[in-house]
Structure 1
Amino acid sequence: MGKKGGKKAGKRMKKKELAEIVLNFFHAKPTETFTLKYIFSELRLTTHPLKMLCVDILHELLADDYIVEVEKGKFRLHNQGKELTGIFHRKSNGKNSFIPDDGGEPIFIAERNSAHAMNNDKVRVVCLAKRKNKEKEAEVVEILERANDTFVGTLEVSKSYAFLVTENRTLANDIFIPKDKLKGGKTGDKAIVKVVEWPDKAKNPIGQIIDILGKAGDNTTEMHAILAEFGLPYVYPKSVEKAADKIPAEISEEEIARREDFRKVTTFTIDPKDAKDFDDALSIRKLKDGLWEVGVHIADVTHYVKEGGIIDKEGEKRATSVYLVDRTIPMLPERLSNYICSLRPNEEKLTFSVVFDITEKGEVKQSRIVHTVINSDRRFTYEEAQQIIETKEGDYKEEILMLDTMAKAIREKRFASGAINFDRYEVRFEIDEKGKPISVYFKESKDANKLIEEFMLLANRTVAEKIGKAPKGKKAKVLPYRIHDLPDPEKLENLSQFIARFGYKIRTGGSKTEVSKSINRLLDDVHGKKEENLVETVSIRAMQKARYSVHNIGHYGLAFEYYTHFTSPIRRYPDMMVHRLVTKYADGGRTVSENKYEDICDHCSNMEQIAANAERASIKYKQVEFMMDKIGQVFDGVISGVTEWGIYVELNDNKCEGMVPMRDLDDDYYEFDEKNYCLRGRKTNHTYSLGDAITVKVARANLEKKQLDFVLVD
């Protein structure tokens, strides 16, 4: 530390440089007291002008309450500051911040005061005395809990050591790996590295390799890297698979005798063409004129997966299956998800069912929740079922057409009571055997999809009502609900102002139903217009995210007072919890611990979000890969996002999204107007707004960063 002053002592040093040196000097020994003489000698301030400059700086620091004069001529850092705990956010540009647990304003933490805390670590900080005209600062004094000590990147190996180069936006420094911790990794390998230490004086953290994923650029390597980046598992533990292999697939006569038998009732599944885990089937039979019995049969997963067992624990930890572009990472071992529990045709299966007596107009006369055994007659893909609905010809056409009629009636009622109708298409890739995307297509929700959706919604809602609607004077038993809060009023106000530009209106006040009906009207009005996608996007941003909780507040988007997830236990853990609790309560069991189940609900909500982010990253990767050979080509698109660092553009042909960086908008100085979703030029007043049609040329495709760069075409 002392050397810094010495190097420049002969020359005139700028005040700012010396101030930095003086600050660092006090921070290095935050509890010690120094005399002026000691400070001069340690910082090697040998000339009179430098000493005077130093005294000047000390007086300013005193005035700012940054240091204190303990007694005449003796100084120490003023760190009698408030201690806080919270979360540290690391930024690769050095603008680190600290978010206090009590939800106060973020506090800036300079790199020198970060104690090498990593992103999202839980830390204890001391607030530093505030300097005049400077933002509030704090210093990390203890790392209480590491959030994430593993990173994914590409190896660069030299003779005696190696580095992991990460694309992580929070880590400015590559990770140093000693030669003996390389596990045979070579340059160009993708690897997962655990940071083991980050010494005080070292610029780089030191790590060791946990796993080599394979060669960068190889499809499976890259998909595993995406999973690892989000902390998701990419292999199934052998011990859990072994446990699943021991589960017998045969169904005993005693088990069948305990259940309601639907094996002779017409039953089928309707699923995507590439699905292997069929977790729901529908049965239908006529009871009398105008009245039908419809069974929604769900794989009875918890009959096979015992609570607290090794398979259950792994399922709870994963909480959801993850669907990347080219593969499914199942929540449960494949023997269960694709074989024993999957409702495959012409096989006897154990199910947990919601059975309705229902009219052709979709009115439910009564319902029951029962354990059943089924034997599916036919497996339909959505496309096959759709064809039957459109042509009125094909296997089980009477049954499918009747279910379609009912579903349409139920759906209409749902929208009449204020459900919100977001009908989004999804982008899908046609992929060759090496995982390379060869074409893009759009997955739309048609009648066959909606038929299944309506009966699943009905079953989920019925289960939630059965448990949640307690008799007068009684408290409902604990159940995980799927809840969805009202839109954020501020965001609704923003949406209202934004759509006014296109001549649309929505209600931002009034009852829940009035607000949602006005949103539906808006979605109807923009249907087929050029701003449709844009208005939908901004409307979705005004919505809250649905999540799991034992505290029911209803589901705003579906307009249901009670709603849960019951229909997909093969791929979602909350559904397994609901199956177990419904069974337990039906057998007269007592209610379970609210706190314990709320914790699991939180975990499941978080994992759902992480899985969705990984899914998006895999789509992003494939989009960039798909565009690799289109550099220099020109496309029409629409502005899909506006930020202070540039504009995002979605191409009309293939929905791939890329960015025109701010630095390339060089005809003016553009400012970001957050409220109106636009960039505005200072001189020309020219704007780039969300939803504007725009023509771009593909400039760069960076697979590592999953980033497409476009340039504007005049």
Structure 2
Amino acid sequence: MARDLCVPSSQRAAFRAALSELESRGELVRGKKARYWLPDNRNAGDLIRGRIQMSNDRKRRSALFLPEHPDGHSVFRNMDRPRLFVPARFTSTALDGDTVDVELQYGASPRHRGWQHDDPGYPQARVVEVVERSGRPIVGIYHGKGVRATVAPEEGRLPGSFRLMSILPQAKPGDIVVASFAGWNEVHLPPMAKMVKVLGREDAPGVDILKVIHRHGLPLEFPDVVLSEAEMIDEVVPEEEISRREDWRERQVFTIDPEDAKDFDDAICVTEKRDGGWELAVHIADVSHYVKPGSALDAEAKKRGNSVYLADRVIPMLPERLSNGVCSLKPHVERLTHAAILDFDARGKLTASRFVSAVIRSRHRYTYEQAYEQMMLNDEEVESISDENERSLTLHLKQAWGLASMLRRRRFKNGALDLDMTEIRVVLDEKGRAVDVKKSVYDESHQLIEEFMLAANEAVAFVTKNAPAPSIYRVHDDPDPGKLEEFADLARSFGHRVGDVTHRPELQNLLSGIRGSVEEHSVKVSLLRSLRRAEYSTDPTGHYGLAKSNYTHFTSPIRRYADLVVHRV
């Protein structure tokens, strides 16, 4: 090529560099024996844009196409979940998560697990063009050296091998590495990648967690501009701000959280009234006071979406100065909150609600284990507590459970499903090796907090639903009857008598009947897979699993961006 193009020998190195640059940008394709050609840019008639989701079975190489705007195409009109099957021969050079343009193909019915259309005229999709790459990191095992160097991803949704265009000097064959996508222009050639990070040997402590972090592109650090904004926030609440808020500093407000938690989103205060009713105050950290729309803090929180909890670390949505500092409802310091003040009658029915900006000074920080221990004390044991403050808080805990247990009974009477399961937590040593597992029993202390958070979320959803401003809701649609019947068959295989599970009381009876059995976990997991996934929506259509017509997420703004949006509403 250099000779035919009359490139002088002094410029051959620059010529080769230019070819490599064109190849990495996808403007040239390099084949065997260093032959180059232009990529095949095909056009089609009516194209539909969307995202491609590859099968987890690498040998199958088939995919699903998820349209960006299903309402704009009649082919998706009657689909409950708008999508099209993409046979392996039609996936072209698309990778999982890429944005693509497809055209419709009509032919044989797709033979794909989970695909239920039997009409041979049902449309399939053919990828015409990859519009935008997902940019997902490639995590896998480094093999070979030099021009034969490859990275083999562990994830089945990606091709089995990527040719490495560049290699870090410290990398050794067999290392787990992270690579960035560099190009793939012809199906018959392997995709290309550039090595960007070496994680270490596969069996080295902590590498398994790092694989998860990099595979999902989780950010380990905050940008400097975000940290600078966080540092400018004073942890001491000014008197001017306190004067504008409802003062709860002298009330018996406290928190209950996991033992290793540092980001305390919520605090509670329960008061029994003379008429037998109750006042419940659910105080939630006022993150919206510190994280303003348009700020760098807000942009980063929106990008992250939520905090991520892993076995050896937390990747927070907000910088530590906020998440574990000024926003966290730590004991004995002044903190700003949004509070839902809910009144219940003696039967646990909500009679009134109001929402205020408040300031609190938490009296105590309980772990779930500590709270449960205090809640289980009998009257004589409570009276024997010598410390007056501890005795008062213990009485408050027991009083709070009186209301929470009543709310819980009402919720299940209204049709809520009992899908609570034992949580298993892995204990790591200082080197990151698993040394133990702990079982977290879902006891009364967990149930107390759950019921109060559910009550606050429901009350907030009711108010925003009837307000002029739009908001976000947590919705859970009714399940597909066919999938429920498949679940019923599985439950029968364990020897349980199962009625018509499309009727909520029958589901509740089944869940009650398996409580404490060996198969309880398996049956509940199977039921969860039979139900639709809960999701966020601007349309408050209700929550099937909780049996609530109004529901949102309000109680965790430190770790969920959706809750922060609801606070602003």
Regarding TM over 0.5, the answer is yes
Q: For residue 186 of structure 2, what is the amino acid of its counterpart?
A: D
After TM superposition, the structure 1 = structure 2 runs for residues 556-575 of structure 1, keeping only pairs within 5 Å, are 556-575=544-563
Alpha carbons of 1:245 and 1:451: their partners in 2 closer, same or farther (altered >3 Å)?
same
In the alignment, structure 1 residue 167 sits paired with structure 2 residue 167: no
The partner residue of 1:370 within 356, 374, 379 is 356
The partner residue of 1:267 within 236, 253, 267 is 253
Alignment partner, residue 26 of structure 2: none
Q: How far off is 1:237 after superposition? A: 2.9
Instruction: Give me the whole-angstrom Cα distance separating, in 2, the residues matched to 1:556 and 1:219.
Output: 42
Instruction: Give me the whole-angstrom Cα distance separating, in 2, the residues matched to 1:538 and 1:226.
Output: 25
Alpha carbons of 1:466 and 1:175: their partners in 2 closer, same or farther (altered >3 Å)?
same
Alignment partner, residue 59 of structure 2: 93
In the alignment, structure 1 residue 248 sits paired with structure 2 residue 234: yes
Alignment partner, residue 478 of structure 1: 470
The partner residue of 1:108 within 87, 110, 117 is 87
Instruction: Give me the whole-angstrom Cα distance separating, in 1, the residues matched to 2:462 and 2:474.
Output: 12
Alpha carbons of 1:506 and 1:478: their partners in 2 closer, same or farther (altered >3 Å)?
farther
After TM superposition, the structure 1 = structure 2 runs for residues 115-194 of structure 1, keeping only pairs within 5 Å, are 115-125=92-102, 140-156=127-143, 158=145, 162-179=149-166, 182=168, 184-194=170-180
Q: How far off is 1:403 after superposition? A: 0.2
> 2:487–2:526: 8 Å Cα contact kept in structure 1?
yes
Instruction: Give me the whole-angstrom Cα distance separating, in 2, the residues matched to 1:235 and 1:199.
Output: 33
> 2:245–2:357: 8 Å Cα contact kept in structure 1?
yes
Gaps of at least 5 residues in structure 1 are 1-78, 471-475, 510-514, 582-714
Q: Secondary structure at the match of 1:219?
A: coil
Q: For residue 518 of structure 2, what is the amino acid of its counterpart?
A: K
The partner residue of 1:450 within 431, 447, 451 is 447
Instruction: Give me the whole-angstrom Cα distance separating, in 2, the residues matched to 1:132 and 1:345.
Output: 62
The partner residue of 1:539 within 527, 532, 540 is 527
Alpha carbons of 1:146 and 1:257: their partners in 2 closer, same or farther (altered >3 Å)?
same
> 1:555–1:562: 8 Å Cα contact kept in structure 2?
yes
Alpha carbons of 1:235 and 1:214: their partners in 2 closer, same or farther (altered >3 Å)?
farther
Instruction: Give me the whole-angstrom Cα distance separating, in 2, the residues matched to 1:241 and 1:133.
Output: 51
What are the Cα deviations for residues 540-576 of structure 1, in whole angstroms up to 9, with x where unaligned? 2221111111101111111111111111100111110
The partner residue of 1:490 within 482, 489, 494 is 482
What are the Cα deviations for residues 375-397 of structure 1, in whole angstroms up to 9, with x where unaligned? 01111111111011112436211
Q: How far off is 1:490 after superposition? A: 1.0
Alpha carbons of 1:83 and 1:309: their partners in 2 closer, same or farther (altered >3 Å)?
closer
Alpha carbons of 1:506 and 1:166: their partners in 2 closer, same or farther (altered >3 Å)?
same
> 2:183–2:193: 8 Å Cα contact kept in structure 1?
yes
Instruction: Give me the whole-angstrom Cα distance separating, in 1, the residues matched to 2:365 and 2:475.
Output: 32
The partner residue of 2:429 within 405, 423, 432 is 432
What are the Cα deviations for residues 224-282 of structure 1, in whole angstroms up to 9, with x where unaligned? 22022123223333332232112111211110110000000111111111110011011
> 1:161–1:178: 8 Å Cα contact kept in structure 2?
no
The partner residue of 2:329 within 337, 343, 346 is 343
Instruction: Give me the whole-angstrom Cα distance separating, in 1, the residues matched to 2:172 and 2:224.
Output: 27
> 1:281–1:297: 8 Å Cα contact kept in structure 2?
yes
Instruction: Give me the whole-angstrom Cα distance separating, in 1, the residues matched to 2:314 and 2:267.
Output: 21
Alignment partner, residue 693 of structure 1: none
Instruction: Give me the whole-angstrom Cα distance separating, in 2, the residues matched to 1:461 and 1:152.
Output: 41
Q: How far off is 1:360 after superposition? A: 5.3
Alignment partner, residue 367 of structure 2: 381
Q: For residue 153 of structure 1, what is the amino acid of its counterpart?
A: G
Q: For residue 141 of structure 2, what is the amino acid of its counterpart?
A: T
Instruction: Give me the whole-angstrom Cα distance separating, in 1, the residues matched to 2:193 and 2:60.
Output: 21
Q: For residue 521 of structure 1, what is the amino acid of its counterpart?
A: N
Instruction: Give me the whole-angstrom Cα distance separating, in 1, the residues matched to 2:64 and 2:449.
Output: 46
Q: How far off is 1:83 after superposition? A: 5.9
Q: State the Cα RMSD in Å.
A: 2.9
Q: Secondary structure at the match of 1:455?
A: helix
Gaps of at least 5 residues in structure 2 are 1-42, 68-75, 77-81, 112-119
Alpha carbons of 1:183 and 1:249: their partners in 2 closer, same or farther (altered >3 Å)?
farther
Instruction: Give me the whole-angstrom Cα distance separating, in 2, the residues matched to 1:246 and 1:439.
Output: 41
In the alignment, structure 1 residue 554 sits paired with structure 2 residue 542: yes
Alpha carbons of 1:576 and 1:105: their partners in 2 closer, same or farther (altered >3 Å)?
closer
Q: For residue 222 of structure 2, what is the amino acid of its counterpart?
A: Y
Instruction: Give me the whole-angstrom Cα distance separating, in 2, the residues matched to 1:423 and 1:133.
Output: 37
Instruction: Give me the whole-angstrom Cα distance separating, in 1, the residues matched to 2:213 and 2:346.
Output: 46
**Aligned length in residues:** 490
Q: For residue 175 of structure 1, what is the amino acid of its counterpart?
A: F
In the alignment, structure 1 residue 212 sits paired with structure 2 residue 198: yes
Question: Which of 195-204 and 567-576 deviates more?
Answer: 195-204
Alpha carbons of 1:286 and 1:92: their partners in 2 closer, same or farther (altered >3 Å)?
closer
Alignment partner, residue 457 of structure 2: 460
The partner residue of 1:402 within 396, 399, 403 is 399
Q: For residue 506 of structure 1, what is the amino acid of its counterpart?
A: G
The partner residue of 1:391 within 346, 366, 377 is 377
Question: Which of 487-496 and 233-242 deviates more?
Answer: 233-242
Instruction: Give me the whole-angstrom Cα distance separating, in 2, the residues matched to 1:233 and 1:575.
Output: 21
What are the Cα deviations for residues 502-554 of structure 1, in whole angstroms up to 9, with x where unaligned? 24123345xxxxx2222111111122333333322222222111111110111
Instruction: Give me the whole-angstrom Cα distance separating, in 2, the residues matched to 1:138 and 1:400.
Output: 58
Alpha carbons of 1:235 and 1:215: their partners in 2 closer, same or farther (altered >3 Å)?
farther
Instruction: Give me the whole-angstrom Cα distance separating, in 2, the residues matched to 1:544 and 1:377.
Output: 41
Alignment partner, residue 14 of structure 1: none
Instruction: Give me the whole-angstrom Cα distance separating, in 1, the residues matched to 2:158 and 2:532.
Output: 30
Instruction: Give me the whole-angstrom Cα distance separating, in 2, the residues matched to 1:131 and 1:522.
Output: 41
Alignment partner, residue 308 of structure 1: 294
Instruction: Give me the whole-angstrom Cα distance separating, in 2, the residues matched to 1:554 and 1:126.
Output: 36
Alpha carbons of 1:124 and 1:480: their partners in 2 closer, same or farther (altered >3 Å)?
closer
Alignment partner, residue 520 of structure 1: 508
Q: For residue 527 of structure 2, what is the amino acid of its counterpart?
A: S
In the alignment, structure 1 residue 576 sits paired with structure 2 residue 553: no
TM-score, scaled to structure 2: 0.79
Alignment partner, residue 6 of structure 1: none
Question: Which entry has the higher C-alpha Rg, 1 or 2?
Answer: 1
Q: How far off is 1:283 after superposition? A: 1.9
After TM superposition, the structure 1 = structure 2 runs for residues 28-43 of structure 1, keeping only pairs within 5 Å, are none
> 1:81–1:127: 8 Å Cα contact kept in structure 2?
no
Instruction: Give me the whole-angstrom Cα distance separating, in 2, the residues matched to 1:450 and 1:504.
Output: 28
What are the Cα deviations for residues 433-466 of structure 1, in whole angstroms up to 9, with x where unaligned? 1121112222121001111111111111111111
Alignment partner, residue 500 of structure 2: 507
> 1:81–1:129: 8 Å Cα contact kept in structure 2?
no
Q: Secondary structure at the match of 1:106?
A: strand
Instruction: Give me the whole-angstrom Cα distance separating, in 2, the residues matched to 1:226 and 1:567.
Output: 27
Alignment partner, residue 227 of structure 1: 213
Question: Which of 194-203 and 548-557 deviates more?
Answer: 194-203
Alpha carbons of 1:133 and 1:528: their partners in 2 closer, same or farther (altered >3 Å)?
closer
